[in-house]
Amino acid sequence: MRKGVKISNKERFEKAQRACDFYLKQECNWVEACKSENISYTTLCNWAITNSKIKVLLDKTKWRVTEGKKINILEKATSALEKKLANQRQSEMHLEGFTDENGAFIIKKVVLKEKDIAPSDGIVQFVLKTLDPNNWLDKKDETETNQQPTIDLSALSDEQLGLLKKLKESMEPKKEV
């Protein structure tokens, strides 16, 4: 779009909406999406500043992309964890033989051993805490964190209680009248 060409707010919103749709469908960057509507990305951002509907539209589009990426990452993490949890097998090859008089190693027997490899406990904990934090995050004992330490003052004399009261008053900020 050329500088100085005036279009209505309705046309701006429609162009912004088409650019957002293009951005989501084509999985391209914002500059390319804006070019599909013959506007610059700067123009689209300026429209968002002056038009709250366009701002909301852009925010929703960006949120959908972010959520889509999060879902994709969670799917990949879940898939990787499933592979790890399947007790993958690892093959080890051991060569048995001897060295002849010339120093060459003569292979007598090749032994292939397969063993199960369990997933790392750290990986399992991380994925469980990430996917379901309500059930898997470390929980703090709420009774300990919410309780104030209490001191039994019943054994103190009146003189000692008076000293404590003066100490408390001296620590409190003075109120100006």
**pLDDT for 128-160, tens place per residue?**
777 777 777 776 555 555 566 677 777 778 888
Domain chopping of the chain, boundaries:
9-83, 87-137
Cα–Cα distance for residue pair 116/139, rounded to 1 Å: 33
**pLDDT for 72-115, tens place per residue?**
666 666 777 776 666 566 677 777 888 888 888 888 888 778 77
Q: How confident is the model at residue 19 (pLDDT cuts 50, 70, 90)?
A: very high
The 3-state secondary structure of 87-113, one letter per residue: CEEEEEEEEEEEECCCCCEEEEEEEEE
Handedness of CA 137, 138, 143, 147 (dihedral sign): negative
Q: What is the structure's pLDDT at 17?
A: 93
150: which 2 tokens?
């209490």
12, 42, 43, 64, 109 from 15: Cα distances, Å:
5, 14, 11, 19, 73
More confident residue, 107 or 121: 107
